[in-house]
């Protein structure tokens, strides 16, 4: 038989909506942003959670978290704040300084190891960001 997949058009629509909500220029707190995202993500998970391609869902989760890391990096504004925020979140001094002083763009920095170390997945779980892929209980 065939696998139940998510239509490409539905994925495009989903990504467009997430891009819209997570625009870097919104100027609201991350907590508020997660509150705005939650109903949409839960509804989407309820409808598409049955798909037999869990990797698609886990990749989308990772993409959303990276958008949020990029959003925070933008909010921290300058090297001084970025350094302090990274240090506050347990990143060692040298990697924090390298990341904070980097002229690299927001999206590339959101994938930087120091930023990922500071903003791990459990951090986003703690903010209440829902997961798209919830493995079925046997």
State pLDDT tens for residues 35-90. Answer: 999 999 999 988 887 787 888 889 999 999 999 999 999 999 999 999 999 999 99
In a domain, 84, yes or no: yes
In a domain, 136, yes or no: no
| Strand, coil or helix: 97 | helix
Count of domains forming the chain: 1
pTM: 0.91
In a domain, 115, yes or no: yes
In a domain, 6, yes or no: no
Alpha carbon distances (Å) from 108 to 22, 69, 70, 73, 100? 16, 10, 8, 11, 13
In a domain, 133, yes or no: no
Matching residue, tokens 């300058």: 78
In a domain, 94, yes or no: yes
- 21, containing H or E segment: helix 8-21
Q: pLDDT by residue (tens digit) across 1-25?
A: 577 788 899 999 999 999 999 998 8
Q: How is residue 91 written in tokens?
A: 């990143």
In a domain, 92, yes or no: yes
In a domain, 79, yes or no: yes
Q: pLDDT by residue (tens digit) across 91-122?
A: 999 999 999 999 999 999 999 999 999 999 99
- 34, containing H or E segment: helix 30-48
């Amino acid at each position: 038989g065939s696998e139940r997949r998510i239509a490409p058009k539905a994925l495009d629509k989903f990504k467009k909506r997430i891009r819209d909500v997570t625009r870097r220029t919104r100027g609201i707190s991350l907590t508020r942003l997660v509150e705005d995202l939650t109903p949409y993500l839960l509804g989407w998970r309820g409808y598409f959670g049955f798909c037999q391609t869990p990797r698609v869902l886990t990749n989308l989760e990772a993409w959303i978290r990276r958008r949020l890391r990029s959003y925070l990096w933008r909010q921290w504004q300058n090297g001084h704040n970025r350094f302090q925020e990274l240090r506050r979140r347990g990143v060692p001094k040298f990697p924090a300084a390298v990341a904070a002083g980097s002229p690299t763009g927001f999206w590339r920095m959101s994938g930087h190891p120091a930023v990922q170390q500071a903003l791990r997945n459990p951090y986003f779980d703690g903010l209440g960001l829902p997961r798209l892929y919830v493995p079925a209980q046997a």
